[in-house]
Amino acid sequence: MALLASASLYLPSAAHTSSDLSGEETISATFHDEKDGSTRTVQVPVGQSLMEAAHANDIDLEGACEGSLACSTCHIVIEDPELYAKLEEPNDDENDMLDLAYGLTETSRLGCQVIAAPELDGIKVRIPGATRNFAVDGYKPKPH
């Protein structure tokens, strides 16, 4: 007993915020894809964006610019307005890109900018049935 108590003294205090000793705390996130009607619930490590989580789980969410806020292809809609309100406000760059998104809603965000955090556990998002990407769509290299 005394041995266990003294051993716990060596645990770094930051580890107490994690749910396990591997340090990987996760939340549950559900993606509903309007394109094919599929719904998937996955575990997302805290700190990972929902776009990264989608890609890690073969969920069909685009991300043409890989999170550099230069497209709107990672557009998602947060289904629960209360969870949406817990997110940090989108910055100007994100708002500019959202303005270009197909099917923009009051609770739209860019998936690359929504970072998994404990208060977002259980989040449900919808992937709209189409995307719009002026940077990539329509670009067809032509031979000279």
**Interacting residues with ligand FES (CB under 6 A):** 51, 63-67, 69-71, 73-74, 97, 110, 112
Nearer to ligand FES, 24 or 66 (CB): 66
Nearer to ligand FES, 70 or 104 (CB): 70
Give min distance, CB of 115 to ligand FES, in A.
12
Which tokens go with 110?
């860019």
Nearer to ligand FES, 46 or 75 (CB): 75
Nearest to 46 by CA among 123, 99, 102, 108: 123
Give min distance, CB of 88 to ligand FES, in A.
15
Nearer to ligand FES, 71 or 77 (CB): 71
Nearest to 129 by CA among 27, 37, 25, 19: 37
98 close to 92: Cβ distance less than 8 angstroms = no
Give min distance, CB of 18 to ligand FES, in A.
28
CA distances from 35 to 31, 48, 52, 61, 126 (A): 12, 24, 19, 10, 10
Give min distance, CB of 82 to ligand FES, in A.
24
Nearer to ligand FES, 25 or 63 (CB): 63
Residues found in the chain: 144
β-pair partners for 109 = 76
Strand 75-78 with 108-110, pairing: antiparallel
Give min distance, CB of 67 to ligand FES, in A.
5
